Amino acid sequence: MSKSLTANLDRLRRVYKQCGDLEIKEWRYGPDLKHRAASVRFSTLADNDTNYMKSVLQDLSNHTIGPGLEVTPEMIRLFFDAQGVSAESASKESEWAAADGLLLQGRSALLVDGWDQALCFETKRLETRPVSEPETEPVVQGPREGTVEDLQKNVGMIRMRLQTPALKFQFFRAGGHSNTMIGYGYLDGVVDPGMLAEFERRLQTCKGKGDIIDTSFIEELIEDRPLSPFPQFRYTERTDVAAASMLNGKIVLLVEGSGSIMICPGLFFDLLQSSEDYYQRVLVSNFIRWLRFIALFIAISLPSLYISISTFHTELIPTVLLLAIVDSREGIPFGAFVEAVIMVFFFELLKEAGIRLPRAIGSAVSIVGALVIGEAAINAGIASPIMIVVVALTGIASFSLPQYNLSIALRLIQFPLMALASLLGGFGILLGYLFIWLHLTTLTSIGVPYLTPIAPWKAGQFRDTLIRTKLPALIRRPKPPRST
């Protein structure tokens, strides 16, 4: 920075030309008002800084003399060099790169003629939505506190749940045009040091990348297998889930401007768990958890099983049911595989339409559309009633899974399984299951095997996988401090 206020202001106007929300106020102070200064801010990001300037001048001046008429630039420099008391703390920046970054984060800058530093102080006033219940993870019983798009608020809500000095949070900026603030947290002494070191090593690739505006942007930069259909990280908008994950040795990652928290690593059985599993009694929780496992099997296998049995293994169908299926398929111009692909494809379109349309009409369109199109397909002889039932049950099963990214993966796997079933019948389905199992056993997330604790077997963690044991056995009790 230059000691000339004029040169500094010319530089600002040149760099931020055509930025209509840049506000520069020049003013004078001191004896005979001969000293010059200027305050700079973006009116869309920062509040007016008048009150702050008044408080600084009052701290510097003798109140019996008047409102800062004896203040000189040297007094201002000495005041901030000595960390003088004022209403707001200010940082001194001598490089334009740092000052520009603070201005674009909502701070205001004070430039004084004859001083080659800028005083940058906090005046951010961006509005954010209030804390409310997450729409993607509703619960019947339990906390209803969800994340917002403010990184500091999200970290604060997590700290309120884990009030311990072992909770560590570290922050850095991605750089580039977005210069997004990224933070990650963990519980010291609980997280595995090797996993944390590997996570931090991969996170180094995000520094300097720029243009990171959401948590999901980081996923492809640090995941083990970007081409795998299975998600390798878990997302949540609930602070209680983030806190519970850290108690289990996980790492959480947050991004400024995003309400999604990424939990690392995201293992297969973690994706099938819900926060409500721990707010219900143990028998109820296990019943609901097994419902999800059955839904997982239905969502991935039902269309291919129908194709296989109706095409290759009709002897497995009871005679009465077989006659009903044959009667319902009379006049259908397509085979079972083509029929299933057409109906699953249109069902996927309806699901996407229900998500993208405005909420007031999205659910109505998806439900009415499914009924109308299903009935029309049956009357037109394009699909049989049993196929409509199979596709509908498959869709309902995918909706019951708590993680949306896992249900998307299962929707992708449906199609190759249906193709194998149409070519090889039951043997083709078994072959597809074998490929899926081999893929899952070799998949890792931040170096942790994806099927932990089954492959590799870890008996201590199995108590919260297929079944959930009683909470007293799950609650982590901190070790007492060592006596000195």
Per-residue model confidence as pLDDT tens digits over 40-69: 988 888 876 555 665 666 666 544 344 556
Residues 283 and 392 in one domain: yes
Transcribe 191-216 into DSSP letters: S-HHHHHHHHHHHGGGTTT----SHH
pLDDT score, position 65: 44
Per DSSP, 88 falls in state S
Per-residue model confidence as pLDDT tens digits over 189-247: 899 999 999 999 998 877 766 678 888 889 988 999 988 999 999 999 999 999 999 99
Residues 178 and 317 in one domain: no
Q: Has residue 134 been placed in a domain?
A: no
Query: Considering 236, 266, 296, which residue would you say is the last residue of a domain?
Result: 266
* Cβ–Cβ under 8 Å, residues 443 and 225: yes
Count of structural domains within the chain: 3
Residues 232 and 381 in one domain: no
**Which residue blocks in 248-335 are alpha helix, DSSP H?**
282-311, 319-328
Q: Which domain holds residue 76?
A: 5-122
Tokens 């505006």: give the residue.
213
Residues 89 and 234 in one domain: no
Using pLDDT thresholds of 50, 70 and 90, give the confidence band for residue 84: low
Interatomic CA distance for residues 15 and 66, integer angstroms: 38
Residues 254 and 291 in one domain: no
Q: Which SS3 state, helix, strand or coil, does residue 265 take?
A: coil
Query: Considering 242, 266, 290, which residue would you say is the last residue of a domain?
Result: 266
pLDDT of 292 strictly over 70? yes
Q: Select the more confidently predicted residue: 195 or 361.
A: 195
**Cβ burial, residue 339 (10 Å; 0-12/13-18/19+):** buried
Q: Has residue 271 been placed in a domain?
A: no
Q: Has residue 470 been placed in a domain?
A: no
Q: Has residue 450 been placed in a domain?
A: no
Average pLDDT, the chain: 83
pLDDT of 83 strictly over 70? no
The predicted model gives 69-77 an average pLDDT of 74
Of 238-247, 309-318, 408-417, the poorest mean pLDDT is in 309-318
**Which residues lie closer than 8 Å to 345 by C-beta, 6 or more apart?**
none
